[in-house]
């Protein structure tokens, strides 16, 4: 079953049955047949319908935001903020997609050639629960404009938002079979990837899920894009206003209650400001108060599920048992719901899960660095390589250090973030491929060479 369980109360709200094998087979057939006509629809018309979808997302913001607050516990103001980002993504590709997909002329020896940018077919999207609308938007918007069709399998705890997205797109005029929501199982994903009519898959989720999907995609020679975990470093070299820097760091870490792949989970601070930074950070992390995520005054929401809360508490307890210092939080909060008090850890060493693992929730690990070299070494000592942030009153110093960080994204005097026109993605175990911006439209594109 796909289930809506309100993580603020533990209440089972609704259940949705898994799709049958026959329904999955039918979805693949419908999606392929829709592609044959959708690709022939003029790109200006496809873009117009995607622009209309952006307008409907904006019109239904309150309704759609309430759904994900109920499904995965996001604070209502952040839920509405997520919808604003979704609107910007659909608008960006509607307005820029026709140009991004335009033919490109090449001057070659002995003549000329043209790169024709064309769709490739029916695609599968496998999406996570932490940003139920945003994650779908950055996959669906560029591919619908390009002319691909989509079969979307959402997270098991987001069936209501999954259905709502499908409703918005269909109400915008996008053909029903050009975007199909399915409540599929893992084995059914494998069967779809084996179908020759399916041309690729995009997954945002865990390393384990990414490895499994990549294996199936490789076995069937299908294009794959993976956006997986992260343990992003925030390197603090110096600060002209430490209070402000701490505020920025806390806001970045606690966005979506710490359940963001590109949030700064490791803060690496130079020795001369380390003690003061930890003190101020601990004070701000201790100030969050749990409450109903549907109440705009709430500052601390629940995690997405009780299982997620239990896992985070166990990870923190493992570090403390092995010698780490817990400055605040790290425990369940009494009462119903999947609430965990925000935690600050120091003294984390390589024998602890918190060193190499991803803490997916309201917890941050702080490291002391005696030099730029040590800071860079700590930043790169991870199996992940998604994003990073480098802070300094001297932007050139921050840029110089940032150039040596192994990551798909480096932010100077900022931590994380996402915008429609800026490519997003990582290296190492954080995945392969890019989403958003011009690069996001090229992942499932046939760059056909026509020799003149």
- Write out the catalytic residue numbers: 227, 261
- Per-state percent for the chain, helix, strand, coil, to nearest 5: 45, 20, 35
Q: How far apart are CA 328 and CA 292, in angstroms?
A: 22
* Distances from the Cα of 330 to the Cα of 284, 300, 364, angstroms: 14, 13, 10
* Distances from the Cα of 417 to the Cα of 101, 184, 256, 342, 386, angstroms: 26, 30, 12, 21, 12
* Distances from the Cα of 243 to the Cα of 287, 332, 362, 420, 437, angstroms: 15, 28, 20, 30, 33
Q: Strand pairing of 232-236 and 389-391? A: parallel
Q: How far is CA 4 from the centre of its chain?
A: 20
Residues 359 and 264: beta-carbon distance below 8 Å: no
Pure H helices in 345-394 = 353-356, 372-380
Q: How far apart are CA 341 and CA 337, in angstroms?
A: 12
Beta bridge partners of 106: 113
Q: How far apart are CA 428 and CA 386, in angstroms?
A: 8
């Amino acid at each position: 079953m796909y289930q809506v369980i309100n993580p603020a109360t533990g209440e089972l709200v609704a259940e949705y049955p898994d799709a049958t094998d026959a329904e999955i087979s039918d979805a693949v057939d419908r999606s392929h047949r829709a592609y044959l006509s959708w690709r022939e629809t003029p790109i200006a018309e496809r873009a117009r319908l995607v622009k209309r979808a952006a307008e409907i997302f904006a019109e239904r913001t309150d309704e759609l935001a309430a759904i994900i607050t109920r499904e995965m516990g996001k604070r209502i103001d952040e839920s509405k903020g997520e919808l604003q980002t979704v609107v910007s993504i659909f608008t960006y590709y509607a307005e820029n997609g026709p140009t991004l997909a335009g033919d490109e002329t090449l001057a070659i020896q002995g003549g000329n050639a043209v790169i024709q940018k064309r769709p490739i077919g029916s695609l599968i999207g496998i999406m996570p629960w932490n940003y139920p609308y945003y994650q779908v938007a950055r996959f669906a918007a560029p591919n619908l404009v390009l002319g691909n069709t989509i079969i979307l399998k959402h997270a098991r705890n987001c069936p209501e938002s999954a259905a709502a997205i499908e409703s918005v797109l269909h109400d915008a005029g996008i053909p029903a079979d050009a975007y199909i929501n399915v409540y599929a199982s893992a084995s059914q994903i494998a069967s779809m990837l084996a179908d020759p009519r399916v041309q690729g898959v995009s997954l945002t989720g865990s390393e384990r899920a990414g490895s499994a999907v990549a294996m199936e995609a490789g076995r069937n020679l299908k294009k794959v894009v993976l956006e997986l975990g992260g343990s992003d470093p925030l390197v603090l070299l110096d600060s002209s206003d430490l209070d402000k820097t701490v505020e920025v760091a806390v806001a970045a870490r606690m966005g979506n209650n710490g359940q963001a792949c590109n949030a700064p989970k490791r803060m690496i601070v130079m020795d001369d400001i380390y003690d003061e930074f930890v003190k101020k950070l601990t004070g701000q992390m201790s100030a969050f108060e749990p409450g109903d995520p549907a109440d705009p005054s709430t500052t601390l929401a629940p995690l997405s599920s009780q299982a997620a809360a239990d896992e985070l508490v166990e990870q923190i307890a493992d570090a403390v048992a092995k010698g780490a210092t817990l400055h605040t939080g790290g425990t369940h909060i009494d009462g119903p719901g999947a609430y965990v008090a925000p935690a600050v850890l120091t003294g984390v060493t390589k024998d602890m899960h918190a060193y190499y693992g991803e803490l997916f929730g309201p917890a941050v690990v702080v490291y002391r660095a005696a030099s730029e070299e040590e800071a860079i070494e700590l930043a790169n000592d991870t199996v992940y390589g998604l994003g990073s942030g480098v802070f300094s009153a001297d932007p050139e110093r921050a840029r110089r250090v940032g150039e040596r960080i192994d990551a798909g994204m480096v932010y100077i005097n900022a931590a994380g973030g996402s915008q429609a026109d800026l490519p997003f993605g990582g290296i190492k175990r954080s995945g392969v491929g890019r989403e958003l911006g011009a690069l996001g439209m090229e992942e499932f594109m046939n760059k056909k060479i026509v020799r003149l």
